[in-house]
Amino acid sequence: MDPRFTELLAPFLKFLGDEEITAETSLREQGLDSMQAIELLFAIEDTFAVVLPDEAMNDATFATAGSLWNAISAASEAGQEASVR
């Protein structure tokens, strides 16, 4: 996971304490609630210049840091492929 991603994620995980964010970190358990999903999404779009597709806006994507990072990576690759074409 990109360090910019974990840095961006940290303020949303108020129960994480001193623990490190890993791919397995549960976003919901560590404090992300559905009301903050939109703020997190804006932060991701601004930092990585990607737009996550509507189909990715589900519980599975927002389950762990790893699942969210995978969705960002997939969206970013899809974006690059589109610009190469």
CA distance 43 to 57: 15
Burial class (CB in 10 A: 0-12, 13-18, 19+), 72: buried
Residues within window 32-61 making contact with another protein, judged by CB under 8 A: 33-35, 37-38, 41, 54-55, 57-60
Count of residues that bind another protein according to CB under 8 A: 19
Residues within window 8-37 making contact with another protein, judged by CB under 8 A: 14-15, 17, 28-31, 33-35, 37
Tell me the closest approach of the beta carbon of residue 5 to another protein, in angstroms: 19
